[in-house]
Amino acid sequence: MIAYPNSGNISLFLLRVKTAADSLGNQGWRLVGSKEVVGMTSSITSKEYYQAKESKVLLTFKVSIQAFLYDKSKFIYVPHEDTIYKVERTFQNGMWLELHCSEATLKKEEIEGWNL
């Protein structure tokens, strides 16, 4: 397989979730919407790692997507890894938007309406 510059190498879902109360008043998460996108993963640089560490955030994942696709989702789901990540920061880089993410404590079993 030949890798081309600016070609997608990962499929992921942008997740829009909200807190919701059940009939007993218990707080939980509800899936409001999702969008499948293709992105390009890259390594967290040492500078980004140390800047995040100073603010007590452990970045574990960075992906670039086309900026017009981003809908301000706070979580992403990577089916290949079966993992949910929290979007900690975003950076605009021309037509690309970098999403800097940490592994979320949120699990898909905790989200009402999960259908991915």
**SS3 label, residue 79:** coil
Q: Flag whether pLDDT at 22 surpasses 80.
A: no
The per-residue pLDDT for range 62-87, each reduced to its tens digit, is 999 999 999 999 999 999 999 999 99
Decide: 2 and 9 in contact? Cβ < 8 Å. Answer: no
pLDDT score of 65 = 94
Decide: 72 and 32 in contact? Cβ < 8 Å. Answer: no
Q: Flag whether pLDDT at 1 surpasses 70.
A: no
pLDDT score of 6 = 67
Q: Flag whether pLDDT at 100 surpasses 90.
A: yes
Q: Flag whether pLDDT at 8 surpasses 80.
A: no
The per-residue pLDDT for range 33-53, each reduced to its tens digit, is 999 999 999 888 888 888 888
Evaluate whether the domain defined by 10-112 bears CATH number 2.40.10.270. yes
Beta-carbon count within 10 A of 42 CB: 12
pTM of this prediction? 0.85
Cα dist. 47→19, 43, 51, 59 in Å?
34, 11, 6, 12
Q: What radius of gyration, in Å, describes the C-alpha atoms of the chain? A: 15
pLDDT score of 61 = 87
